[in-house]
Amino acid sequence: DAKTTQPNSMESNEEEPVHLPCNHSTISGTDYIHWYRQLPSQGPEYVIHGLTSNVNNRMASLAIAEDRKSSTLILHRATLRDAAVYYCILGVPTDSWGKLQFGAGTQVVVTP
């Protein structure tokens, strides 16, 4: 399975943008890039996903490199509620994505 590499932690000030990098140099042509986040004492929560083009939704934006070997999740204005572990995962769209394997993720700390 293709792996992802993320920084262990990142810190941001409230109301500032946060750019979370993810490297996936062994990504295959059929792998989608997914982002989930996990708030304290909760289950993971879907954030966004994409294949080749950049994607935007109400929670975040996903910027995908042209060679697809890396991507960046962008939180446009961090709030205290965005403090969570963010996971970058690769998955193929069969059987509801099948084996989504979570790595260690990036712990995002938001400072007032």
Partner 1 sequence: DAGVIQSPRHEVTEMGQEVTLRCKPISGHNSLFWYRQTMMRGLELLIYFNNNVPIDDSGMPEDRFSAKMPNASFSTLKIQPSEPRDSAVYFCASGQGGAEKLFFGSGTQLSVL
Footprint of partner 1 (CB under 8 A):
36, 42-46, 49, 87, 93, 95-105
Nearer to partner 1, 11 or 45 (CB): 45
Give the shortest CB-14-to-partner 1 separation in angstroms.
26
From CA 100, how far away is CA 65, in angstroms rounded?
21
Question: Considering the complex, what minimum distance in angstroms separates the CB of residue 42 from partner 1?
Answer: 6
Contact 96, 49 (CB under 8 A): no
Q: Specify the residue, 67 or 95, whose C-beta has the smaller distance to partner 1.
A: 95
**39 in helix, strand or coil?**
coil
